[in-house]
Amino acid sequence: MGSSNMGKSIQSKEQLIEAVRFVASETSRLAQKIVGKTFPVKSLTIFAHSQSEYELLAQILGGMGKPYDYNNGPRAELHEPIKVDSNQITHLRIRKPDPERPQVGCNDFETDFRVFKKEYLPKHPENLRLIERSGYDMIELYDSEFNVLAYVVSKYRGIKSKSVIGNK
pLDDT on residue 8: 75
Would you list the domain boundaries of the chain?
2-166
Instruction: Express each pLDDT in 82-120 by its tens digit.
Output: 999 999 999 999 999 999 999 999 999 999 999 999 999
Q: What percent of the chain has pLDDT over 90?
A: 80
Q: Whole-angstrom Cα distance, residue 125 to residue 41?
A: 23
Mean pLDDT of the chain: 89
| Fold of the 2-166 domain | 2,3-Dihydroxybiphenyl 1,2-Dioxygenase; domain 1 (3.10.180)
d(CA 30, CA 149): 8
Q: How far apart are CA 102 and CA 117, in angstroms?
A: 26
Tell me: the pLDDT tens digits for 31-66?
999 999 999 999 999 999 999 999 999 999 999 999
d(CA 58, CA 19): 14
Q: How far apart are CA 19 and CA 154, in angstroms?
A: 26
Which secondary-structure segment (H or E) carries 20? helix 13-35
